[in-house]
C-alpha cells in the first residue's frame, strides 16, 4: 500500500468509526472537547494573533467559535460537517456545510482570506496535508493559520496516528505537515491551566504558521 502524500502510511489515518461524518456528528450534542478555561485561552490567543479586520475562516467551527466578541472582522466564515452546529453559531456571517474528509477543496477564491482558525479539529482529518495545501491556497501572503488543540478528542473519529502520539509529538506532526504544505514562520506554544483555577483542566496546545510572502 502506497504512502499518503504526507509520506505517512495510510493506516495512520484510519478511524475506529467508519460511519459518514455527517451522520456521526448529527447525533452528538457536544460542541467542544475543551473546558471553559481552555476555550477562554484560545480566545485570548485569537485576540493577539488574528488581524484586527478582514475575512476569517473558522474551519470545523461547530457551534462555538472562539473569536473574541469585540472583534470587528469584515466576515467570519464557518465551515463544518454539522449544519445544525453551524446554524447555532452566532459568531458566523457565512456558513459552509462540508465534510473535508470527503471534499477537501473549498469553494473560495485564491488568496481571499486574512486568517484561518482550526480549533480542536486536526485530530479528525484523514488527509491533513491535502487540506493544509488547500488552506495555503486560500490565504493571502503573510496571513496566519492558527491551529489549537487540547488533550481531549473523540476516540471513535480521531485518526489512529493522533491517538498514538503524545501532545509534543502531535505538535511536531502539525508543524511537519505545515512545512510540507508550504507554510513558513512556524511557532508553537501551550497554555497550562493555573493551579488555582479548578474549573480549568485542559492544556491548550497551539501551532501558528503563515503563508509565505511571494519571492
Task: Identify which has the larger pLDDT, 16 or 197.
Answer: 16
pTM: 0.94
Mean pLDDT, residues 7-29 taken together: 86
DSSP-based helix, strand, coil % in the chain, nearest 5: 30, 20, 50
* Average pLDDT score, the chain: 91
CB–CB of 139/190 below 8 Å? no
Does position 3 have pLDDT exceeding 80, yes or no?
no
pLDDT digit string (tens) for 64-76?
Answer: 899 887 777 889 9
Q: What is the pLDDT of residue 33?
A: 81
pLDDT digit string (tens) for 89-101?
Answer: 999 999 999 999 9
- Write the DSSP string, 29-42: ----SS-HHHHHHH
Mean pLDDT, residues 5-16 taken together: 82
Q: What is the pLDDT of residue 139?
A: 98
Does position 31 have pLDDT exceeding 70, yes or no?
no
Nearest-angstrom CA–CA distance, 208 and 65? 17
What's the order of all strands across the beta sheet hosting 94-97? 94-97, 75-80, 55-59, 115-119, 144-149, 204-211, 183-191
pLDDT-derived band at 29 (thresholds 50, 70, 90) equals low
- Write the DSSP string, 133-197: HHHHHHBPTT-EEEEEE-S---TTTS-HHHHHS-HHHHHHHHHHHHHHTTEEEEEEEEEPPPTT-
Cell of 125: 482529518
Does position 6 have pLDDT exceeding 70, yes or no?
no
- Write the DSSP string, 107-142: SS-TT-BSEEEEES-GGG-SSHHHHHHHHHHHBPTT
**What 3-state class would DSSP assign to 75?**
strand
Does position 1 have pLDDT exceeding 50, yes or no?
no
Nearest-angstrom CA–CA distance, 116 and 139? 8
Does position 36 have pLDDT exceeding 80, yes or no?
yes
Cell of 214: 511571494
Nearest-angstrom CA–CA distance, 135 and 114? 11
Q: What is the pLDDT of residue 56?
A: 97
pLDDT-derived band at 130 (thresholds 50, 70, 90) equals very high
Share of the chain above pLDDT 70, in %: 95
State the CB neighbour count (10 A cutoff) for residue 181.
Answer: 22
Amino acid at each position: 500500500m502506497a504512502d499518503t502524500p504526507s509520506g505517512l502510511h495510510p493506516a495512520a489515518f484510519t478511524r475506529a468509526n467508519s460511519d459518514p461524518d455527517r451522520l456521526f456528528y448529527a447525533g452528538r450534542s457536544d460542541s467542544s472537547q475543551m473546558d471553559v478555561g481552555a476555550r477562554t485561552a484560545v480566545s485570548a490567543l485569537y485576540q493577539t494573533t488574528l488581524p484586527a479586520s478582514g475575512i476569517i475562516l473558522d474551519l470545523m467551527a461547530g457551534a462555538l467559535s472562539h473569536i473574541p466578541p469585540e472583534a470587528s472582522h469584515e466576515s467570519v466564515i464557518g465551515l463544518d460537517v454539522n449544519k445544525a452546529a453551524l446554524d447555532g453559531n452566532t459568531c458566523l456571517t457565512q456558513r459552509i456545510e462540508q465534510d473535508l474528509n470527503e471534499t477537501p477543496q473549498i469553494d473560495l477564491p485564491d488568496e481571499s482570506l486574512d486568517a484561518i482558525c482550526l480549533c480542536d479539529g486536526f485530530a479528525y482529518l484523514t488527509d491533513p496535508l491535502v487540506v493544509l495545501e488547500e488552506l495555503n491556497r486560500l490565504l493571502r501572503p503573510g496571513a496566519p493559520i492558527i491551529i489549537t488543540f487540547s488533550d481531549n478528542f473523540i476516540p471513535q473519529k480521531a485518526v489512529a496516528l493522533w491517538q498514538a502520539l503524545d501532545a509534543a509529538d502531535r505538535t511536531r506532526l502539525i508543524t511537519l505537515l505545515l512545512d510540507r504544505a508550504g507554510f513558513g514562520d512556524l511557532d508553537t506554544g501551550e497554555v497550562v491551566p493555573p493551579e488555582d483555577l479548578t474549573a480549568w483542566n485542559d492544556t491548550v496546545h497551539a501551532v501558528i504558521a503563515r503563508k509565505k510572502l511571494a519571492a
